[in-house]
Amino acid sequence: MNFEEEISLLIKSRYPLVAVDTIDEDYVLAQLYQVAQAQGLTFYSWSLTKGLRIGANENSFYKTGDPVAMLRIANDLVSAPHSAVFALCDFDRYLTDASAARFFKDILNRIKGSPTTMVLLGSEAKLPPDIAPLAARISGGYPGERQIMEEVNRAVAQFKLTSAHLQVDVPADVLRRMVKTLKGLSLQQVRNALNICMLKDFRFDRADIKEIEKFKKEAFDREGILEYFGSEQVHAIAGFDSLKRWVSDRKNSFFSDGSLPPPKGLLLLGVQGCGKSLAAKVIAGELGIPLYRLDLTRLYSKYIGETEENLRKALATVERLAPVCLWIDEIEKIFASSSGDIDGGVSKRVLGTMLTWMQERKDRSFIAATSNDINGLPPELLRKGRFDEIFFADLPDAAARAEILRIHLAKRDLDPAAFDPAGLAKHCDGFSGAEIEQAVIAAHYSASGANEKISSKHVLAQLKLTRPLSVIKAESVDFLRNWAKERNILPV
């Protein structure tokens, strides 16, 4: 349901008050005017600088710039035998005044059950406790895909008139992705993003999707709760064949508008250092969407109510940034003490908010959550519907260990064939991918310190010096592996 349909339904449902969260007043005012006309309602708009105006008229009622003076006129108008829509810009800021608040409540009580509706426009309007229950809250001013497509075509055509040097290479599939990436921006923001893309290099092509993603990040993530990460391709991770196949089967439906719903996300359980974080980056790369990590250090606050507000803002930002891959690393830490006995119920409220959002969200965001501690996860999180699937990342087998060695040797401009990865893999049974990587790095330092060319003997020496986590914390690792096996958790 788009904004025009939603606001039209609320007016027909006879809500006395609707608060519209928007940064594009002109766009919303134009849509409200059309809705009012379609329903045969008189349309009034008000702002502090322009006063109260009727319809599209530029002339205002006499001396109605003052909020209380405007309310006096509005009170007379709602008493008349006709119905109307009043669009009030930034009016919530004046409800701290006792006279304005009292007058406004009287008007709301008068229009209850009538076709007349008061609509407040602004960015996250804060309403007094005695008025807030009367209001329906929606977001507006964000064009749909059809309008964005029209704006892209208009912007390109207009730019070509001023610059004959613009090179356009946007196939139909790229254009669809671009339009979906632009969703969540206001019409003016869409124009700004498109102009930046074209002015940067006088080209408009696939590479501009990254530029739009960057624009959206700067526009919405003001608190910095979401941290941007680069994605990886499937060849960057060894093993994980089941996971790769699962993502590959679903990536086409992520951007299509077919009968299949887009995938919501997955949970990666497993032994520490076995590639869960890298897998999140690979998932984003395979789906072709940007990756953001939820920064837990910025989420939690010592002030009452601020943690919940931070989470609400972060989730709203994810919806506006969509399509996006949200990486929640060590998700169990969000729900620490979810019984609420230790932190005054903060984690319990955070859990409730997170679970509801995961279940009900309609945007194209994909959650890639990881966890090392199964005991720290609340059972509500593990049921079907929260995640599409749960995978278990175990310690790599011999073939995967050999591939991990090849990947990390090649990353350091070394020829894997000169190191016998299959032979070295036999000497690191029980090692995680992270431990194998550190052995390669340590071998590099060891060879450099001895002024020698790095070889298999240096890597083998470091592997023999390493005591893997599967030995140091054998009980914890065995418990986790047995837990996954008993519950038939899919191996990666």
For residue 298, the model assigns a pLDDT of 77
pLDDT above 80: residue 345: no
**CATH class of the domain defined by 3-139:** alpha beta
* pLDDT (average), residues 296-309: 74
For residue 102, the model assigns a pLDDT of 92
Pick the range with the lowest mean pLDDT from 158-162, 302-306, 373-377, 394-398: 302-306
Are the C-beta atoms of residues 377 and 335 closer than 8 Å to each other? yes
Do 3-139 and 398-472 show the same overall fold? no
Residue 459, token pair as written in the block: 């890597």
Domain residue ranges in the chain: 3-139, 145-216, 228-393, 398-472
pLDDT above 80: residue 353: yes
Are the C-beta atoms of residues 51 and 36 closer than 8 Å to each other? no
Q: Determine which helix (DSSP H) or strand (DSSP E) holds 121, and give its type and residue range.
A: strand 117-122
State which amino acid sits at residue 133: P
Q: What is the DSSP letter of 261?
A: P
Are the C-beta atoms of residues 97 and 67 closer than 8 Å to each other? yes
Say how far residue 2 (Cα) sits from the centre of its chain.
Answer: 19
pLDDT above 60: residue 338: no
pLDDT above 80: residue 159: yes
pLDDT confidence bin for 344, thresholds 50/70/90: low
| Angle in degrees, 0-180, between the axes of helices 67-79 and 98-111, rounded to the nearest 10 | 20
Q: What is the CATH number of domain 145-216?
A: 1.10.8
Q: What is the CATH number of domain 398-472?
A: 1.10.8.60
Global confidence as pTM:
0.72
Are the C-beta atoms of residues 230 and 291 closer than 8 Å to each other? yes
Q: What is the DSSP letter of 286?
A: H
Q: What is the CATH number of domain 228-393?
A: 3.40.50.300
Residue 434: HSE in the Cβ half-sphere, 13 Å Cα cutoff: 15
Listed as own residue / partner, the contacts of 200-203 with beta carbons closer than 8 Å and 24 or more positions apart are 202/163, 202/165, 202/166, 202/167, 203/166, 203/167, 203/168, 203/169
Dihedral, CA of residue 253, residue 257, residue 261 and residue 264, to nearest 10: 70
Distance CA 166, CA 158 (A): 11
Residue 308 φ then ψ, to 5°: -60, -40
